[in-house]
Amino acid sequence: MSKLALLGGDPVRTVPFPAYEVIGDEEKKAVQEVLDSGVLSRYLGSWHPDFYGGPVVQAFEREWSERFGVKHSIAVNSCTSGLYAAVGAVGAGPGDEVIVSPYTMFASATAAVIFNAVPVFADIDPQTYTLSAETIAPKITPRTKAIIVVHIFGQAADMDGIMALARSKGIAVIEDCAQVPFATYKGRPVGTLGDIGVFSFNYHKHVHTGEGGMCTSENDELAERVRLIRNHAEAVVRDKGTTNLVNMVGFNFRLGEIEAAIGRCQLRKGGDLIAQRKVNVRMLEQKLAGVPGLSMPVVGAGGDHVYYVHALDFDEEAAGISRDLFVKAVSAELPATKLREHEGPLMGAGYTRPLYLNPMFQTMTAYGNVQCPFKCPHYKGQVSYAEGECPNAERAHYSRVITHEMMRPPMTETDLDDVAAAFHKVAEHRSELTDFGRSGA
C-alpha cells in the first residue's frame, strides 16, 4: 500500500463517513404536536399538581419506567443535573466523602463538590475501565456517604461486588449511566442496579434530545427527593409537608415538553440503534485482527456492551510505536464524519485525563478562596489528588487507550473496511515513522 498520509502519501479515504443522524419524521411529528399544543413546559415551582411537569414529560417518564422495569423515572435537563440531584438526594454534604471514578466526564465528580462533599478517586479496572469492589474497598472511610459508579464506554461495572460492599457499609450507590442506555448487567437493565441511575440525552449519546437526562430509582423517598431538587425544593417543602430538609436546596433541572417528545421517539428506536452498533463492532473487530499491539475491548462480567465508543487497548511495546503517534498516523488516513466535520476523524488517544490531575483538584479550589470543600472545617479526612493516585487510569490515559466512534450506524461494511485499512496501513509502515517529529516532519 502507498506511503503514509502523515508522511505526505495519499490517505486511505477522503470521502466523509455518514452521519449518525437519529432524528427522523417521527420526532418531527412529535415536536409539531407539542408546538401545536402551545404548551412547551408545564411546571410550577411550588406545591401543585404541575410540580411534576407537563403531560409529555410525564408520559416520557412513564414509558422509560415501563421499558426498563423501574418504579420511578424522573426527567431532567441533563445528566449533569441528574447527578447533582442524585447526590443531593442521598444526603451527601459537608464533611462527607463520595467515591468516584477518575476516568469519566467531569460532572461525575463535580456532583459531589456541588453539595460540598469531597470526591475521593478510586482506580479503575484496567480491562473494563470502571470501578470495581477491589478498587473501591481501600478508599472507604467512616465519612464515605456515596459511591458514584460510572459505567464507561458502554458497559456496566461489575455491580454485584460493588453493591454487596456498599450494602455492607450502608453506603448509597449512584450509577452514572450516561454512556450505557439500554445496556444490561447479567440480564438486568443498568440504572436499576444501584440506588439511583442517571442517563444523558446530550447530542453525543446513543439516543438524544439535544440536551436532557433521566434519573431512575426503585426507592420512593429518593425519587421524591430527586423531584424536589429538580424543581425549587426550598419553595415547595413547606406546603408539601416535607420534613427531611437536608439538601432541599432546589434548582431548575426541568426537561421541556419538546425534548420529552423527542425522547419518547428515541426510546422506541434506541434498541435497534444499539443492535446495529453491536453488529458493526463485531464486523470491525474481525477486520482489525492482526494489528500488532491492538486488543479489542473486553466485555466484563455483566456480559453486555453497547459501545458508546469503541475503546481499544494499545500495547506500545508490542506495537513498536507510541500510542499517540499511531493514533495521529491512523487519523491522517481517515476523513471526518458528516455533521461533526469540525472535529476531524472521530478518533482519539486516552479519553480523559484522570480528573484529579485537573486544576480544581490540584489547587483544591472550588468555593471561595478558602479551599472548601477540600479543607472545610467540617471535613476531618485528608484526601490525596497526587499524581500516581490511580495508576490504571493514568496508564489508560497516557499510553494505552484508543477511542473511536467509527462504528456507529449507518456505517456500512465498506466504511468499516476503510477504517480497518487505515489501521493496517499504519501498522505495516510503522517503521517509517521512527524519525517522525525528529526531522521536523
Ligand X SMILES: Cc1ncc(COP(=O)(O)O)c(C=O)c1O
Residues forming the site for ligand X (CB under 6 A): 78-80, 104-105, 107-108, 150, 176, 178-179, 200, 202, 213
Do residues 316 and 323 make contact, with C-beta atoms less than 8 angstroms apart?
yes
* In the complex, minimum distance from the CB of residue 289 to ligand X, in angstroms, rounded to a whole number: 29
* Nine cell digits for residue 186: 447479567
* In the complex, minimum distance from the CB of residue 176 to ligand X, in angstroms, rounded to a whole number: 5
**8 contact partners, CB below 8 Å, separation of at least 6:** none
* Helix, coil or strand: residue 259: helix
* In the complex, minimum distance from the CB of residue 406 to ligand X, in angstroms, rounded to a whole number: 18
Q: Which is nearer to ligand X, 100 or 332 (CB)?
A: 100
The three-state (H, E, C) secondary structure of 338-356, written as one string = CCCHHHCCCEEECCCCCHH
Q: What is the CA radius of gyration of the chain?
A: 23
Closest CA to 195 of 83, 282, 32: 83
Q: Which is nearer to ligand X, 199 or 385 (CB)?
A: 199
Q: Which is nearer to ligand X, 261 or 427 (CB)?
A: 261
Q: Which is nearer to ligand X, 189 or 293 (CB)?
A: 189
Q: From edge to edge, which strands make up the β-sheet containing 144-150?
A: 72-76, 213-217, 196-200, 172-176, 144-150, 97-100, 118-121
* In the complex, minimum distance from the CB of residue 80 to ligand X, in angstroms, rounded to a whole number: 3
Q: Which is nearer to ligand X, 5 or 174 (CB)?
A: 174
Q: Which is nearer to ligand X, 252 or 434 (CB)?
A: 252
* In the complex, minimum distance from the CB of residue 210 to ligand X, in angstroms, rounded to a whole number: 10
**412 contact partners, CB below 8 Å, separation of at least 6:** 18
* Nine cell digits for residue 416: 468499516
Q: Which is nearer to ligand X, 110 or 247 (CB)?
A: 110
Cα 403 → chain centroid: 14
Do residues 76 and 214 make contact, with C-beta atoms less than 8 angstroms apart?
yes
Q: Which is nearer to ligand X, 37 or 202 (CB)?
A: 202
Q: Which is nearer to ligand X, 361 or 379 (CB)?
A: 361
* In the complex, minimum distance from the CB of residue 157 to ligand X, in angstroms, rounded to a whole number: 12
Dist CA 373 CA 367 (whole Å)? 7
Closest CA to 207 of 347, 39, 79: 79
Query: Would strands 172-176 and 144-150 be described as parallel, antiparallel, or unpaired?
Result: parallel
* In the complex, minimum distance from the CB of residue 415 to ligand X, in angstroms, rounded to a whole number: 24
Dist CA 338 CA 330 (whole Å)? 18
Distances (CA, A) of 150 to 108, 197, 396: 8, 10, 16
* In the complex, minimum distance from the CB of residue 200 to ligand X, in angstroms, rounded to a whole number: 3
* In the complex, minimum distance from the CB of residue 107 to ligand X, in angstroms, rounded to a whole number: 4
Dist CA 151 CA 288 (whole Å)? 25
* Nine cell digits for residue 325: 503517534
Instruction: For residue 69, give the amino acid letter.
Output: G
